[in-house]
Structure 1
Amino acid sequence: MITFNEVNHIDDVIKNISFADEIIVIDSFSTDGTIEKLKSHKNVTTICREFKNFTDQRNFALQQASYDWVLFIDADERITPLLQKEIITEINKPYNEVVGFMFRRLFYFKQNRIRFSGFQTDTTYRLFKKEFVKYNETKIVHEMPLINGKSKVLKSKMLHYCIDNANHYKSKMEHYASLKALELFKKGKKPNFFHFYFKPFYKFIYNYFIRLGLLDGKEGFTLCYLSAYGVYYRYVELKKLYN
């Protein structure tokens, strides 16, 4: 697990993954009490390391793991009992050709389930054999592992309590957008009128109407608006890099 200022989640997530043989947390020098809470868990190895980007941090975390199978989890995610059982079953198969597993996630805004708004088809890699994976170093946000072998999507779903409030989600969007801007800058992409106006507008229309965010009520509107804002903010940050 990689963390920064997750004091509200850290105890619950450590308890949630207590079935693991080892728990390793790479923390980016949290300032909210996360590190102190981590130190109180005797079954957790905590390493403080400067955050460069998500890919760099995850690849470093992979290198620290002692066992063949690695489960990545974010502090605001939870493994359900059914998913835990499925994970254990899969990794203990004697002749398993699958080396990477994707999880479906159920999203929550505070305690309210988000069923649409672009989140309904979300899947992410969370479990793999260490020797067959490395995160793609060209993608420093929304990181993607390169899997050398077969993959599979597990049936059971992970819970993702990713949004505490609108300001929390906005700060997340700005952080991701800043990293994405740096990624685009390194590729030589330059912002223009299309990026500042059409892309954010299309992002909102797509998530709110086509991906049915309107059915998620006021939370759906907020999420779709802030997702569009994140696209706009990305190109604001990209323009700053060129200036």
Structure 2
Amino acid sequence: MILNNSDNKLTALVITYNEMEHIKKCIASVSFADEIIVVDSYSTDGTFEYLEALPNVRVIQRPFKNFTDQKSFTLDKASNDWILFVDADEVVPRSLRTEITQTIQKPNALDAYWFYRKFMFKDSKLNYSGWQTDKNVRLFKKSQCRFAQHKLVHETLQINGKTGVLKEKLVHYCYKGYSDYKAKMVHYGKLKAKELHSKKRSCNLFKLIGKPTWKFAYNYFIRLGFIDLHKGFTVCYLNALSVYVRYDELSKLQALTATKAKNTVTTNEKYKLNNVEMAAS
């Protein structure tokens, strides 16, 4: 696709699946962009229909494989070089919009920018629980960046150039409800297990029990989750659950691979034995 480099135009990108609770605020907050593209994974809650009715949004439906695959596809659809890639449950505050606009107009603008995020537990702020220093690249030049293909979850942007950090924070409504956040963490855990399995990583009892325990203790005690009270305990527990699911699923994938390998060996042995018997007869 030919990139439009004139006037430092901006494309806002979003991927969605059943995000009606947040998508209206998200799209409204990126309406200052010259182009808005959303790739939806066949939502069933009205998200696609809502987006389809918006005159300033181009929405595409595509099956979801993993986050890197979906975001790479979405990035490829952008016609402008400057990209603002936000999650459907994120909102760009007015102050951040101003900073983004001013930044991409600079003749000496860098190739990518990190955003700090303010995490919201429903409608109240999470101050700690491991999130206080979280930051992600959300604004970047398409010509200088691409998503690392080996990552299935917590996708990584590979940047060929210099990066900076914006001062204003992106608002992330990370927690809609217990069942929703739990489902998200379980999904992340299973995708991460597939990623580790593809890298030939192994699981043992220490990883299955020790790593989730450490994840909770680190975020709740060292990263001060206890100061967030009930909110902090809930988020720290569910984040630790995701780590447990990761290694539990990895152990299942290992067992499945071992079974397939054993069956293959057994089949080969039977084949060789049949050939020997046929030759002897």
Q: Please give the TM-score of this superposition, normalised by the length of structure 2.
A: 0.85
How many residues align? The count is 242
Q: Secondary structure at the match of 1:2?
A: strand
Alignment correspondent of 2:262: none
Is 1:56 aligned to 2:69, yes or no? yes
Greater helix content: 2
Task: Please report how far the alpha carbon of residue 95 of structure 1 lies from its aligned counterpart in structure 2 after TM superposition.
Answer: 2.7
Question: Which of 36, 41, 60 is 1:28 aligned to?
Answer: 41
Secondary structure at the aligned position of 2:83 is classed as strand
State the partner residue of 2:248: 236
SS of equivalent residue, structure 1 residue 200: helix
Structure 1, unaligned stretches of length 5 or more? none
Shift of 1:12: 1.7
Q: 4+ residue runs of structure 1 moved beyond 2 angstroms? A: none
Corresponding residue to 1:180 among 192, 195, 220: 192
Q: Select 2:212's aligned residue among 200, 205, 219.
A: 200
CA distance in 1, matches of 2:97, 2:164: 16
Query: What is the CA–CA distance in structure 2 between the aligned matches of 1:104 and 1:207, rounded to whole Å?
Result: 18
1:78 aligns with 2:106: no
Equivalent position amino acid for 1:106 in 2: K
Aligned-residue offset at 1:236: 1.1
* Aligned partner of residue 104 in structure 1, secondary structure: strand
Give the deviation of 1:136 after TM superposition. Answer: 0.4
Structure 1 residue identity aligned to 2:117? R
Percent identity reads 52
Amino acid at match of 2:46: G
Q: Deviations over 1:159-180 (max 9, x none)?
A: 0011011211111110100100
Q: For residue 279 of structure 2, what is the aligned residue in structure 1?
A: none
In structure 2, what residue type is equivalent to 1:83?
L
Match of 1:223 in 2: 235
Residue-by-residue CA offset, 1:105-154 (whole Å, 9 max, x unaligned): 00011111000000000000101011000000011100010000000110
Structure 1 residue 2: Cα displacement: 0.5
1:69 to 71, 82, 87: 82
User: Which one of 118, 130, 153 corresponds to residue 118 of structure 1?
Assistant: 130
- The partner residue of 2:146 within 111, 124, 134 is 134
User: Which residue is 1:87 aligned to?
Assistant: 100
Structure 2: runs of 5+ lacking an equivalent: 1-13, 257-281
Distance 1:224 1:204 in 2: 5
